[in-house]
Structure formats: structure tokens, C-alpha cells
């Protein structure tokens, strides 16, 4: 599990771990809980260009379908094939094995801190 105090967050319930110019992206435990049992994950292709704030994938659960938004402008450098093959990882380990994509970016937009995200979700 990733140390959540080192993460940044979006209002779309995604977490971002920044390592140099690479952002690892996943959805928060709060989002995973609200979705319910995840049964399908669609991710962008490696090498594709993404624009911050745009829909780049889909997460389907037994209750609903959620959209995955790009938190940064950049190029997808990796996707988590384990999540595509075993979508339940999003529920069981959202901050670890359930990561979704890695994006190489030039500029990091303003993101939420843990305290700001916690306030957003009322925790």
C-alpha cells in the first residue's frame, strides 16, 4: 500500500503519486467503496496522449459505471494490466496493486492535499 500522505488528489476521486515527471494514478478508497464491486476496467493505450480533465477510461461495477479522468496533460507510459484482468484489485487495494495508469507530464496542475480531499468527502 502506498503512503496516502504522499499522494495528491482530484475532485474526481483520483489519487496521484508524483515521481519526477511520472504521475501514477488510481481511484481513492472512497470512490472504490461508492462504486461497489468493480467488474470491468477500461484504460487508455500506452503511448496515448491525455488531456487533464478529460475522460480517458471507464470503471464498471455491479452498481454503476464511472468515468476515469486524466488528472494531468501528458503521455500514458504504463497501464496496470493486472487491474484489467482482475478488476477487483481496485476494491481490495486501491492505493497499491489497484493503481491504474502512469502518465509522463510536463506541468503538474493544482491538486488537492489529503486534508482538502478529506474535507471534500466529509471525512
pLDDT of residue 2: 60
In a domain, 32, yes or no: yes
Average pLDDT over residues 61-74: 93
Average pLDDT over residues 91-113: 95
Work out the mean pLDDT of the chain and round it to a whole number. 94
SS (H, E, C) 13-48: CEEEEEECCEEEEEECHHHHHHHCCEEEEECCCCCC
Q: Is 26 in contact with 15 (CB distance < 8 Å)? A: yes
User: Which domain, by its residues, includes 22?
Assistant: 4-107
Average pLDDT over residues 93-115: 95
In a domain, 82, yes or no: yes
Closest CA to 103 of 48, 49, 23, 16: 23
52: left (phi over 0), alpha (psi -120 to 50) or beta: beta
Please give the helix or strand (H or E) that residue 92 lies within, else none: helix 89-92
pLDDT of residue 37: 95
Q: Is the pLDDT of residue 123 over 90?
A: no
In a domain, 19, yes or no: yes
In a domain, 112, yes or no: no
In a domain, 26, yes or no: yes
Q: Is 21 in contact with 73 (CB distance < 8 Å)? A: no
Q: Is the pLDDT of residue 122 over 70?
A: yes
Q: Is 98 in contact with 33 (CB distance < 8 Å)? A: no
In a domain, 116, yes or no: no
When divided into structural domains, the chain yields a total of 1
Q: Is the pLDDT of residue 3 over 80?
A: no
CATH classification of the domain holding 36: 2.40.50.100
Average pLDDT over residues 38-53: 96
Residues written for the chain: 123
- At 6, the pLDDT band (50, 70, 90 cuts) reads confident
In a domain, 55, yes or no: yes
pLDDT of residue 86: 97
Q: Is the pLDDT of residue 23 over 60?
A: yes
Q: Is the pLDDT of residue 1 over 60?
A: no
CB-based contacts of 28, cutoff 8 Å, min separation 6: 9, 13, 14, 15, 94, 95, 117
In a domain, 83, yes or no: yes
Amino acid at each position: 500500500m502506498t503512503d496516502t500522505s504522499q499522494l495528491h488528489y482530484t475532485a474526481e476521486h483520483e489519487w496521484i503519486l508524483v515521481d519526477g515527471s511520472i504521475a501514477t494514478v488510481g481511484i481513492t478508497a472512497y470512490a472504490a467503496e461508492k462504486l461497489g464491486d468493480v467488474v470491468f476496467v477500461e484504460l487508455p493505450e500506452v503511448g496515448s496522449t491525455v488531456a487533464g480533465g478529460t475522460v480517458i477510461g471507464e470503471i464498471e461495477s455491479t452498481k454503476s459505471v464511472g468515468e476515469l479522468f486524466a488528472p494531468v496533460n501528458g503521455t500514458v507510459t504504463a497501464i496496470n494490466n493486472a487491474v484489467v484482468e482482475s478488476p477487483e484489485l481496485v476494491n481490495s487495494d486501491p492505493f497499491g496493486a489497484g493503481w491504474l495508469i502512469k502518465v509522463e507530464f510536463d506541468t503538474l496542475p493544482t491538486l488537492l492535499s489529503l486534508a482538502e480531499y478529506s474535507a471534500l468527502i466529509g471525512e
